Amino acid sequence: MKMKTGIDALSFDVAKLHLPIKTLAEARNIEPEKLEKGLGLLKMTLPDMHQDSVVFAANALTRLIQDNSINLSEIARIYVGTESAIDNAKPIGSFLIDLMEQKFGENTLAECDVVDFTFACIGGVDALQNCLDFIKLNPDKKAIVVTTDFAKYDLNSTGEYTQGAGATAMLITVNPRIIAFENHWATNTKGVFDFFKPHRTVSKEAITGNTNNEAWFDNLEAEIEIHKDQPVFDGQYSNQCYMDRTRNAYFSFKKLKQTSDTLYQSWNSIIMHLPYSFQGRRMLSEIYALDAENSIISGEENPAEYQTKLKETSKTPEYKNFVEEKLMPAELASSLIGNLYTGSIFMGFLSTLAHFYDSEKEIAGNTFGFLAYGSGSKSKVFEGIIQDEWKSALANVNLFETLNKSFEIDFNTYESLHKKEQKQSVQSPKNEWILDRIEKEIPNLIGARYYKWIA
């Protein structure tokens, strides 16, 4: 009997504050319908003052452990996908080891391997593939994949309305209850600058007005390094990179499968990276047209004519039905959360599962196709089969019930949080991890972040 490996359990944590997209649109003089009906955006979630990427990861991981009664001695690795690191050397994974041992017992994870994976939004998929390979070689072991991010964009930028924050956590085992992944993985990679978070500097003279490079807060360098959560990006170019990498990986996957049939027809549901809710349906129309039965569209034609044909394809009743059947369930949570970067594709998967769970539709045996993307840029295409026990594994997740309890903030509070002018948390934390303090006095611990559990 073939050994199966995949996701046995899932959990999540999402920022509990949200700004309605309509509120943002009106403040920015954007027609709300352009964002709500054009991009599928309804809310964007935002971290409170006591939250960061470690907090979201720790909350998701704690729930995964508690809800599934996980024996931590069986966990051989906790691998983290993120592009929201809080330190250039110390990985989020090492913080998670410390916090889980605070809660579940000293040295319970002393023999557990941890590492962070960074490749923009595809880092979590990289962590998943690595852990699946490990479990195949060590079937008596278990692994956990965590994704955690805060998607923050500059005020008034074209990415502002796609912000979001949260984490997912997944238990990876043999004979999984939720989904077993097939062995074929196709990758397409190209080094580009479509979206990135560079080291930035500003001259000390510009800050102090002093031309002699005198020490400034112990900085002896003439240039001061600045960290920003916000990326440098080109939205249109990034969309094109998304389409190019995903298309190439898709057809590479088709070769691996050695099939001439329309590949997407074999997938009951399609899970894509969603920077915004409708990104997948906008990007997939090209693959839909190129891999269609008796397709007459060719990328070698006049580019303008080619794009016109793609737009026409996306407006056909057939494509709209395709979107409704195979893509829509993954979009539901994205509309209410925003971009989770590394977690977006897994939240799309969880959204699909929760949709079918809540509608009492049986999907055991269904094949799900995954089209992942990370800027910089890389796509991976893979697939998995939903297992018989998926419903029992979803029983305690309560995705949409949790999202419906999100706390609405006004526009002034949003801007105050974004500018880091807010002095205290909007909501009092309860049953969650918080960022307790950042060390500012002890020289050999400057910048150390300390967390605690609030019951």
Nearest-angstrom CA–CA distance, 345 and 265: 20
Give the chain's largest Cα–Cα span.
Answer: 74
Taking the complete model, does pTM exceed 0.85, yes or no?
A: yes
pLDDT at 1: 66
pLDDT of residue 218: 87
CA dist list (Å): 8 to 71, 135, 173, 450: 14, 12, 6, 31
Contact yes or no for 337/164 (Cβ under 8 A): yes
Residue with tokens 């074929």: 184
Q: Residue 303: what pLDDT?
A: 79
Question: Do the Cβ atoms of 184 and 256 come closer than 8 Å?
Answer: yes
Domains of the chain, residue spans: 5-194+234-454, 197-229
pLDDT at 369 over 90: yes
Structure tokens at 297: 């569209």
Task: Summarize pLDDT for 285-322 with one digit per residue, the tens.
Answer: 999 999 997 776 665 667 788 888 888 889 999 999 99
- 5-194+234-454: CATH topology is Peroxisomal Thiolase; Chain A, domain 1 (3.40.47)
Q: What is the rounded distance in angstroms from the CA atom of residue 375 to the CA atom of residue 53?
A: 19
What is the mean predicted confidence (pLDDT) over 197-218? 94
Range with lowest mean pLDDT among 205-219, 326-340, 375-389, 430-444: 205-219
Task: Tell me what pLDDT residue 177 has.
Answer: 98
pLDDT tens column, 71-82: 999 999 999 999
Within 13 A of 37's CA, how many CA atoms are on the CB side? 4
The predicted structure's pLDDT at residue 300: 60
Q: How confident is the model at residue 224 (pLDDT cuts 50, 70, 90)?
A: very high
pLDDT, mean of residues 346-366: 98
Q: Mean pLDDT throughout 374-391?
A: 98
Evaluate if residue 140 carries a pLDDT over 70: yes
Dump pLDDT digits (tens) for 151-177. 999 999 999 999 999 999 999 999 999
Instruction: Give percent of the chain with pLDDT exceeding 90.
Output: 94
Q: What is the C-alpha separation between 136 and 145, in angstroms, rounded?
A: 15
Task: Tell me the average pLDDT across 373-389.
Answer: 98
